[in-house]
Amino acid sequence: MITGLTHTHSLLRWILLVLLVYAVIRALTSAGKRYFEKERKTALVVLILSHIQLLLGFSLYFMKGWHNMLGASETMKNEFTRFWAVEHMSGMLVAIILITMGYGRIKRASDDKAKWKKQGIFFGIALLIILLMIPWPFRGEAFAAYGWF
């Protein structure tokens, strides 16, 4: 079961990244253009996928026992355990909060220029945090086992 959840979490990561990159690029290149309904729907799908990722991530966090390591002093000394027990979860949580806030502000914005600006700022910062908090294989020897998928 844990393997299936891990693969689902990893697959959705790529879908979310592609949509988030698309949303940020559109926001940066469309500042003076009209904000169509398809753009709002793209932002909504980003929001939904990020929340699904959050639920899958929390499930894996507790099922793999990373929550038990928070009190151990050795956790903070080891890059690998610190990443999984603290950094990954905290960073992704902040990114998902930014996506949620951004979507809410996009919905409430009165004009198209403000919608593009909110999408660019909130989704852009969230994308940056997500890219920093993904366990990329080039991050170190311990992370190489996770691969690209």
Average pLDDT value for residue range 122-148: 84
| pLDDT, mean over the chain | 90
pLDDT at 57 over 70: yes
Residues 93-114: what's their mean pLDDT? 96
How far apart CA 64 and CA 71 sit, in angstroms, is 16
Which pLDDT score, from 0 to 100, does residue 46 have? 98
Alpha carbon of 2 to those of 60, 85, 102, 139: distances in Å? 7, 17, 31, 23
Looking at residue 144, its pLDDT comes to: 62
In the predicted structure, residue 148 carries a pLDDT above the cut 70: no
pTM of the model: 0.90
**C-alpha torsion angle, residues 63, 69, 70, 73 (rounded to 10):** -170
At residue 123, what is the residue type?
Answer: F
- Spans of all domains in the chain: 2-144
